[in-house]
Amino acid sequence: MVREQYLKVKEKIENACVRAGRKPEDVTLIAVSKTKPLELLREAYEAGARDFGENKVQEIIEKEPQMPEDARFHMIGHLQRNKVRQVIGKAVLIHSVDSLRLARQIEEDAAKVGIVVPVLLEVNVAREESKFGFFTEEVENAVREISSLSHISVKGLMTIAPFVENPEENRKVFQELYQLSVDIKSKNIDNVTMGVLSMGMSGDYEVAVEEGATMVRVGTSIFGAR
């Protein structure tokens, strides 16, 4: 079942790319496997999945060594500062840098082990009380601050759009994140690229792809309800 669902999501992404005049290979499907057992991750892997998303450090640490070497794990959930040390070097990308304090912690821990950690800044585009992340107007300053940290490399932006019945309602959220990334890119900040836009989940990933997502994070539509 996971195989069919994974392939169906892939196909919908391809169709959205065609509608938007984009290349399917420019969109990475992250199979969000949080709470799901390894056998389902392996089923997705067999169907072609190589990128997996988790929101708990513990789950990345447990699953990563048990998957084939070319499986990549993305940290997509809120990251506590006392967990940073365990996840850097394990996750290929931290999507959820939501404060300068967290960025400084990543810098400190990454410097100790001599690595550079690729990250995205999480943006609370819709200004939801329940969500983490920078407000849109805070992002440029945050990017400038973080750009001075030599063990962090900012690769782009991420957002979690509101839960809505009709995905069209989130189109403007995705447009706003895209525009923000274009604006920041135009500032040519040292040590910062804006190539990655992580947006879109099971309910709205097609709209996100139409609006420029380069990574979509899809759980339920691949693995079923949690």
Ligand X SMILES: *Cc1c(COP(=O)(O)O)cnc(C)c1O
Q: Which residues bind ligand X (CB under 6 A)?
A: 32, 34, 55, 76-77, 160, 201-202, 217-221
Phi, psi of 75 (to 5 degrees): -90, 115
Q: Least distance in Å: CB of 216 to ligand X?
A: 9
Q: Which is nearer to ligand X, 154 or 218 (CB)?
A: 218
Q: Which is nearer to ligand X, 55 or 170 (CB)?
A: 55
Report the alpha-carbon distance of residue 65 to residue 45 in Å, rounded: 14
Residue 68's nearest CA partner among 31, 41, 29, 40 is 41
Q: Least distance in Å: CB of 202 to ligand X?
A: 3
Q: Least distance in Å: CB of 34 to ligand X?
A: 6
Q: Which is nearer to ligand X, 135 or 163 (CB)?
A: 163
Q: Least distance in Å: CB of 208 to ligand X?
A: 11
Where are any strands of DSSP class E within the chain? 28-32, 51-54, 72-75, 93-97, 117-122, 152-158, 192-198, 215-218
Is the CB of residue 119 less than 8 Å from the CB of residue 92? Answer: no
Q: Least distance in Å: CB of 220 to ligand X?
A: 3
Q: Which is nearer to ligand X, 156 or 219 (CB)?
A: 219
Tell me, what DSSP letter sits at residue 4?
Answer: H
Report the alpha-carbon distance of residue 13 to residue 63 in Å, rounded: 26
- Neighbouring residues of 12: CB distance < 8 A, sequence distance ≥ 6: 205, 206
Q: Which is nearer to ligand X, 34 or 42 (CB)?
A: 34
Please identify which residue in the block is written with the tokens 């190539």.
195
